[in-house]
Structure 1
Amino acid sequence: WNLKSIVAGFSTSNLDEAQISPENVIPGFDMGINTPSPIDHTEKNRQQMLHELGLNPNLLAYLKQVHGNHVIEATNPGLLGEADGLITTQSNLALGILVADCAAVLIADQDQKVIGAFHAGWRGAVGGILNNGIKQMKNLGGKEFSAWISPCIGLTAFEVGDEVAAQFPAKFVHTQGFSKPHIDLKSFVIENLQNLGLKRDRIFADERCTFENTEFYSYRRQGKQSGRMLAVISMIP
């Protein structure tokens, strides 16, 4: 997307497959807070990313994400508690979401100066994280939103059990050619945003699959040794 007053970015693993990593440090550009990498290592990576985006490395607000639908209004940086969405009207404050197969959704109304960042894994997506986020952004004055959806696990790789498939509308559940149900998470998120009033031409989705592309971390591909990518959004004055 191209919003003049908005700065946004998404990290990759930046991983050289031949790279040898120190013990207990996940190779690459791990941003996580609950990965085997030491906290000071991932904090340095997060600060480096913000610096490269031209943002203040000390003004990142982020969360202990719990696959829910709770949204916090951020007024200060740091770890702001357990939730899966952040919104703010404050310029220069960066909002961060960590993912490794789930979708990160960044939303902005640059005219009304309100932004949001949301963690939309399958639980949060069907549980209404975006519904709650848009509602709270409207409460802060938001009207005309644009959204960006990060790379996430794609249809071909996202095999689920019947109990998960049952929580999605049938058109997002694919069984033909598969032995078990597969979910089209990104298409579900796009339609969710449209149902919340966003115009399709204001929704920008990166179609790359995190499972299939080694430039991204993937929990399903790498398990507990998976790092995390960081999605960031901030407003400049």
Structure 2
Amino acid sequence: MTTQIVPPLFQKPTIFAPFANLIAAESTRHGGVSPAPFASLNLGINTNDDLANVSENRRRFFSAAGAESMGFASSYQVHGTEVLHATEAGRYEGYDALITNQPNLLVGVTIADCVPILIYDADKQAVAAIHAGWRGTVGGIVSKTLTAMQIQFGTQPETCYAYIGTCIDECSFEVGPEVAAQFMPTFRRDDLNSTKSFIDLKAANRQLLTDFGIPAKQIELSAYSTVQHNADYFSYRAEAGQTGRMLAAIGIKK
């Protein structure tokens, strides 16, 4: 008899494993009820999927992550750099990063190619969830989020741990010269046979974390790509916009 291997609903970043009171999870596309093209764990409210499917998928995700009793704060994301200090559960609008120090409150962002970034301040017991597309990366949303945590909670970089999650990889993120020009050469690989370039969003956001002072050993990068591992993760680009959304969430469970 062959044992069927069931893919996990989510991954918990290794960097957060030592912290028993911390809930941190990045979903996959497995284990949900949504039909194609949202198959199957679509957690995105702003898709053409049936809302009942998304609600059931979210229930499964939060339950599997051990967060079924926690509140959840998120926002309709606009590819900007605004940061919300969330103090209670709710659906907000216009923010691409959320921070909180409230126990039993998850903050999260939805993604399907953009970079999810989760941050935990182990000293001040505060967290952040960031959605960084190329515009947010260029706009320094990571730096703005960390500065907001410093102002609100007294966060210092040496006590922070960060996870740069699954997103579009450098070899798949091809852009034109107008976008490429906004990135330092360190994070840009130009195609000598065309006007196109390839951007490394993970590396660009890691640089922002280290520029703030977070030690490199306290930063983890996902080994996966939404495009190269499309069987396990949603990719807006690879699936021509007709796809679901993953969720990256973090919070302190009391």
TM-score by length of 2: 0.87
* Paired position in structure 2 for 1:236: 253
What's the CA shift for 1:100? Answer: 0.4
What's the CA shift for 1:132? Answer: 1.0
Distance 1:48 1:57, change over 3 A: farther
Question: Do the aligned partners of 1:172 and 1:185 also contact (CA within 8 Å) in 2?
Answer: yes
Amino acid at match of 1:141: G
What's the CA shift for 1:89? Answer: 0.6
2:35 to 9, 21, 24: 21
Most deviating of 124-133 and 172-181: 172-181
Counterpart Cα distance in 2 of 1:127 and 1:91: 29
Q: Which runs of 4+ in 1 moved over 2 A?
A: 19-22, 176-179
TM-score by length of 1: 0.93
* Paired position in structure 1 for 2:215: 199
Distance 1:21 1:146, change over 3 A: same
* Paired position in structure 2 for 1:32: 44
Counterpart Cα distance in 1 of 2:242 and 2:23: 30
Question: Do the aligned partners of 2:106 and 2:250 also contact (CA within 8 Å) in 1?
Answer: yes
What's the CA shift for 1:43? Answer: 2.1
Distance 1:51 1:178, change over 3 A: farther
What's the CA shift for 1:56? Answer: 2.8
Give the alignment's Cα RMSD to 1 decimal: 1.9
Counterpart Cα distance in 2 of 1:114 and 1:38: 34
2:171 to 156, 166, 172: 156
Matches within 5 A, 1:25-174: 26-56=38-68, 59-139=71-151, 140-143=153-156, 144-174=159-189
Aligned length: 233
Q: Specify every segment of 5 or more residues in structure 1 that has no aligned partner in the other structure, as ranges.
A: none
Structure 1 residue matching 2:237: 3-state secondary structure: helix
Q: Specify every segment of 5 or more residues in structure 2 that has no aligned partner in the other structure, as ranges.
A: 1-14
Structure 2 residue matching 1:154: 3-state secondary structure: coil
Counterpart Cα distance in 2 of 1:227 and 1:45: 11
Structure 1 residue matching 2:175: 3-state secondary structure: coil
What's the CA shift for 1:44? Answer: 2.0
Counterpart Cα distance in 2 of 1:152 and 1:137: 24
Distance 1:177 1:30, change over 3 A: farther
